[in-house]
Chains A and B, each alone.
Chain A
Amino acid sequence: MTKLLAFAEIKDGDIRNVSFETIAAARQIDEGAEVVAVVFGNKNVEEAANQMIQYGADRAVTVTHDNLENYTSDGYTQAAMAVIEQENPDGMVMGHTSAGKDLSPRIASKLDSGLVSDITAIDGEDFVRPIYSGKAFEKKSIKDGKKFITIRPNNIAPLDQDESRSGDVASLDVEIKDIRTIIKEVVRKASDGVDLSEANIIVAGGRGVKSEEGFEPLHELADVLGAAVGASRGACDAGYCDYSLQIGQTGKVVTPDLYIACGISGAIQHLAGMSNSKVIVAINKDPEANIFNVADYGIVGDLFDVVPKLTEELKAIQVK
């Protein structure tokens, strides 16, 4: 039987959604495979392991160590290699997150294996991934070695949670030592919002937002929708917001269910980062703006008039 590892990711004590998506991805690679969840942390890993099982994993292997509190390349590599050595899997799935992007190439290098990163769909033996920031797609296959992939969050639907499902959770003792990159401090800047790469809804602002304060109505709309706030390069370059919010060919590539573009003209570099969103709403004063060419719904108007009204309308229906 094929054996596939599905890596859980814990951030600030909570298991991230993409963890459950790795299990669904493993099942898409091979429906009949034994899917083994892998969970690292400094505490409470059993809880996450049980959740992974409820979302479809057959069993779980955990590694608990003080040096696994925060992700470090050295720490997580030692833990991952110990699990891989013990389990000798046929393949592995990780999220294409900050940690997954950092860790997966190193593990692939250690195993001299191929790695197909940032997959949005699985088609039999082939893996589909966007290239040129979503201007095109490619299908890749792995010629030899382990099937090792990272999946883009929010693209492969997780399996339904089954709270009655149970499985073996085994702890593996690994000495995690000689960490060469020491984390001195973590400065939370994104904690007030929903993570852009995993957000189901994104409210994004462009040059039309005009100032840092101009983002305020966008934040209010995002709060009502439980959305993340993003921006175009124009808004970032103008200093209205932090570069960490940038969506586009440089910056983040996002695929939410709903993307609301406010005062964004729709330069090709920005479209590359968001045009694969499921539904796009454009709000712009300029009826000729390129963003209307990719929008499902458009409102020609001043965002400072439209956005607050949209927020009010959404609040009103939520009360109902």
Chain B
Amino acid sequence: MNIYVLMKKTFDTEEKIQINGGVIEEDGAEFIINPYDEYAIEEAIKLRDEHDGEVTVVTVGDEESEKQLRTALAMGADKAVLINTEDDLEEGDQYTTVRILEAYFEDKDVDIILAGNVAIDEASGQVGPRLADKLDMPYVTTITELNIDGDTVNITRDVEGDEEKIETSLPLLVTCQQGLNEPRYPSLPGIMKAKKKPLEELEIDDLDLDEDDVEAKTETVEVFLPPEKEAGKVLEGETDEQVKELVSLLKTEAKVL
């Protein structure tokens, strides 16, 4: 089975966001594999172990993305592909990323592509469905269970807390939701092995694309921080009094009741 995973690196969830010169300051920030992509990597490895085949993790990123790709290899993925756009692209959007991935997948024989359902930084959730459309594949988003039997695929999908049981077939693209699995930590032997696993590096030129082909459809005009919240009022007195005061404040001051 030819299994592909789309991966993105994101800020560690612990990071505070700072803005410098109109953009998010990345210097000194810790990066991690987007948490939803970790579910995709874990599921891909489980599929490979069950059905044989190969797991290839693909990212569109920069030089620094190699670190997260090595982590994915250490978890158990077989191959990694870094499409490095650092020297070629100033600003891209989801259209850009998908044009690049579409070109990458053009000559690939794919059974399944797994992605996170959303990245916790830009949080658009567009790349999976857009790519599936370009590759003319069915897709199922926010999956929490995946079973493949021959060409038949049975999926449980999270729909705002409800569950949909879905039947579909390969080739297929899915986006992963929390609850799908428990991503493993890389083991020490895994980390050692990962250093020797193949990591292919490409630029958009290698995919017969130039800058104009992938020009973003949207642009970022401004990035800003939300207004700092001031610490509020801690109520005093016995619980009964506090509760009465709270209800009164919610009615008269905050006007939310």
Cβ A143 vs Cβ B219 within 8 A:
yes
Cβ B13 vs Cβ A197 within 8 A:
no
Cβ B126 vs Cβ A117 within 8 A:
yes
On chain B, the residues within 8 Å of A101 by CB distance are 125, 141
* CB within 8 Å of B: which A212-249 residues: 225, 242-246, 249
**Whole-angstrom distance from the CB of B150 to the nearest CB of chain A?**
16
On chain A, the residues within 8 Å of B123 by CB distance are 117-118, 130-133, 253
What separation, in Å, do the CA atoms of A44 and B138 have in the docked complex? 29
What separation, in Å, do the CA atoms of A278 and B160 have in the docked complex? 22
Cβ B232 vs Cβ A309 within 8 A:
no
Q: Mark A274-304, 1 if CB is under 8 A from B, else 0.
A: 0110111100000100001111111111000
* CB within 8 Å of A: which B143-166 residues: 158-166
* CB within 8 Å of A: which B126-142 residues: 126-130, 132-134, 138-142
What separation, in Å, do the CA atoms of A152 and B218 have in the docked complex? 19
Cβ B242 vs Cβ A299 within 8 A:
yes
With a 10 A CB-CB cut-off, give which of B121, B141, B220, B256 has the most chain A CB atoms.
B256
In the assembled complex, B202 has its CB within 8 A of some CB on chain A: no
**Whole-angstrom distance from the CB of B43 to the nearest CB of chain A?**
15
In the assembled complex, B244 has its CB within 8 A of some CB on chain A: yes
Q: Mark B42-73, 1 if CB is under 8 A from A, else 0.
A: 00000000000000000000000000000000
**Whole-angstrom distance from the CB of B45 to the nearest CB of chain A?**
20
**Whole-angstrom distance from the CB of A18 to the nearest CB of chain B?**
12
Q: Mark A178-209, 1 if CB is under 8 A from B, else 0.
A: 00111111111111000111000100000000
In the assembled complex, A115 has its CB within 8 A of some CB on chain B: yes
Q: In the complex, which residue of chain A has the Cβ closest to the Cβ of B131? A: A109
What separation, in Å, do the CA atoms of A139 and B162 have in the docked complex? 32
Cβ B129 vs Cβ A105 within 8 A:
yes
With a 10 A CB-CB cut-off, give which of A113, A201, A225, A297 has the most chain B CB atoms.
A297
On chain A, the residues within 8 Å of B158 by CB distance are 244
With contacts A118-B123, A137-B225 taken as known, whether A297 is within 8 angstroms of B220 at the C-beta atoms is no
In the assembled complex, A106 has its CB within 8 A of some CB on chain B: yes
On chain A, the residues within 8 Å of B165 by CB distance are 183-187
Find A117's partner among B125, B132, B224, B254 (CB 8 Å cutoff).
B125
Cβ A98 vs Cβ B142 within 8 A:
yes
In the assembled complex, B196 has its CB within 8 A of some CB on chain A: no
With contacts A101-B141, A133-B123, A195-B161 taken as known, whether A300 is within 8 angstroms of B178 at the C-beta atoms is no
What separation, in Å, do the CA atoms of A277 and B164 have in the docked complex? 30
**Whole-angstrom distance from the CB of B48 to the nearest CB of chain A?**
23
Q: In the complex, which residue of chain B has the Cβ closest to the Cβ of A278? A: B256
On chain A, the residues within 8 Å of B162 by CB distance are 186-191
Cβ B218 vs Cβ A140 within 8 A:
yes
In the assembled complex, B188 has its CB within 8 A of some CB on chain A: no
Prevailing SS type, chain B contact patch: mixed
On chain A, the residues within 8 Å of B234 by CB distance are 287, 292, 297-300
In the assembled complex, B223 has its CB within 8 A of some CB on chain A: yes
Find B247's partner among A112, A141, A144, A314 (CB 8 Å cutoff).
A314
With contacts A113-B217, A249-B120, A296-B254 taken as known, whether A183 is within 8 angstroms of B246 at the C-beta atoms is no
Cβ B19 vs Cβ A133 within 8 A:
no
- Interface segment among B1-9, B82-90, B93-101, B203-211: the answer is B93-101
Cβ A258 vs Cβ B163 within 8 A:
no
With contacts A138-B222, A187-B165, A257-B256 taken as known, whether A132 is within 8 angstroms of B121 at the C-beta atoms is yes
On chain B, the residues within 8 Å of A301 by CB distance are 239, 242
**Whole-angstrom distance from the CB of B92 to the nearest CB of chain A?**
12
In the assembled complex, B35 has its CB within 8 A of some CB on chain A: yes
What separation, in Å, do the CA atoms of A174 and B86 have in the docked complex? 45
On chain A, the residues within 8 Å of B98 by CB distance are 109
In the assembled complex, A73 has its CB within 8 A of some CB on chain B: yes
9 shortest interchain CB distances as A-B pairs = A114-B217, A190-B161, A180-B138, A244-B161, A105-B129, A296-B232, A109-B133, A105-B126, A187-B163
User: Could you jot down 24 A-B contacts, CB within 8 Å?
Assistant: A97-B160, A106-B130, A106-B132, A115-B217, A118-B124, A133-B120, A137-B226, A139-B222, A140-B218, A141-B219, A143-B217, A183-B166, A189-B163, A196-B160, A196-B161, A250-B13, A281-B246, A281-B250, A295-B232, A297-B254, A298-B232, A298-B235, A299-B246, A309-B239
Given contact pairs A133-B123, A297-B249, A299-B234, enumerate 13 new A-B contacts (beta carbons under 8 Å).
A109-B130, A116-B218, A118-B123, A139-B224, A140-B219, A141-B219, A181-B138, A181-B168, A184-B166, A250-B36, A278-B254, A293-B229, A314-B247
